[in-house]
């Protein structure tokens, strides 16, 4: 649903580099906006090491048309999906109406007296828990205080605010989680992988909280060397938030 919408009017570009790091995947393209870099969370497929490759054309992707690489979002390999999503993020025009606001700050403001369901355990969970009326954290690998993701169908319809990690776009679970939302719930898609396109507001998503790469070479180098997002942010990534009807 989201990918089809974003691919409809994709601009063209040339792929300059594809880097699949330990935690993050970065794709750099040269297009109508100049040289841009997009990020997506790396989803490694260990079971592919001695079977089918996780990236079918590994070693050949640089020089591809960016639109062709972006279509990897429809791959059955989650590693390739991340490459496709990073390419999409590199090709999307920088939104004009955005605020420099981290996702946790927005959720805290919106959920001050509300019930919040957060899909994905983010580093700010402990900070956020004391700032909203109620917080459920749905997680595939639950930590203390989290709720197993198997309980999503029970929890999500109770939420006034639903915040879904953009990693669900890569593992293919976004649509089933999104479908569980209450009709009047405020919905946010968050995380550095988030496509910052206002077109997604037409689907019923109200807020997009993602990232823009400001220092391309420094971020690429950090990705190649296994940097986590805190390190990437220090190298030159800005967190921004878009709101429908801002």
Rounded CA separation 147/166 (Å): 18
Does a structural domain hold residue 107?
yes
Same domain? 86 vs 139: no
C-alpha torsion angle, residues 148, 150, 153, 159 (rounded to 10): 10
Same domain? 87 vs 137: no
Give helix 216-224 / helix 229-236 axis angle, nearest 10°: 160
Q: Hey, CA dihedral for 146, 134, 211, 60, is it positive or negative?
A: positive
pLDDT tens for the chain, 246 residues long, are: 899 999 997 889 999 999 999 999 999 999 888 999 999 999 886 665 566 889 999 999 998 999 999 999 999 999 999 999 999 999 999 988 888 778 999 999 999 999 999 999 999 999 999 999 999 999 999 999 999 999 999 999 999 999 999 999 999 999 999 999 999 999 999 999 999 999 999 999 999 999 999 999 999 999 999 999 999 999 999 999 999 975
Beta-strand runs (E) in 177-230: 186-190, 207-213
**CATH code of the domain covering residue 147:** 3.40.50.11590
Q: Going by C-beta distance under 8 Å and a sequence separation of 6 or more, which residues neighbour residue 173? A: none
Does a structural domain hold residue 225?
yes
Whole-prediction pTM: 0.94
Rounded CA separation 87/75 (Å): 14
Beta-strand runs (E) in 55-155: 115-119, 134-139, 147-148
Same domain? 68 vs 134: no
Does a structural domain hold residue 244?
no
**CATH code of the domain covering residue 54:** 3.30.390
Domain span including residue 88: 2-94+216-234
Same domain? 31 vs 80: yes
Rounded CA separation 85/196 (Å): 11
Q: Which DSSP state fits 106?
A: H
């Amino acid at each position: 649903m989201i990918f089809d919408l974003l691919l409809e009017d994709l601009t063209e570009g040339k792929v300059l580099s594809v880097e699949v790091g330990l935690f993050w995947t970065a794709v750099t393209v040269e297009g109508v906006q100049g040289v841009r870099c997009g990020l997506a969370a790396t989803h490694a497929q260990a079971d592919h090491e001695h079977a089918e490759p996780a990236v079918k054309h590994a070693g050949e992707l640089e020089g591809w048309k960016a639109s062709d690489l972006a279509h990897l979002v429809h791959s059955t390999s989650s590693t390739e999906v991340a490459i496709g999503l990073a390419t999409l993020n590199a090709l999307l025009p920088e939104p004009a109406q955005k605020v420099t606001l981290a996702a946790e700050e927005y959720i805290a403001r919106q959920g001050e007296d509300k019930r919040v369901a957060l899909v994905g355990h983010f580093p700010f969970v402990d900070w956020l828990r004391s700032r909203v009326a109620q917080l459920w954290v749905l997680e595939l690998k639950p930590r203390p205080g989290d709720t197993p993701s198997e309980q999503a169908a029970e929890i999500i319809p109770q939420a006034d605010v639903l915040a879904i990690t953009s990693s669900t776009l890569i593992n293919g679970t976004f649509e089933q989680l999104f479908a569980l939302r209450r009709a009047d719930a405020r919905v946010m898609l968050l995380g550095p992988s988030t496509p910052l396109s206002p077109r997604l507001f037409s689907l019923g998503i109200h807020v997009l909280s993602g990232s823009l790469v400001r220092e391309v070479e420094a971020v690429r180098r950090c990705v190649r060397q296994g940097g986590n997002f805190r390190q990437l942010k220090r190298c030159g990534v800005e967190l921004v938030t878009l709101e429908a009807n801002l």
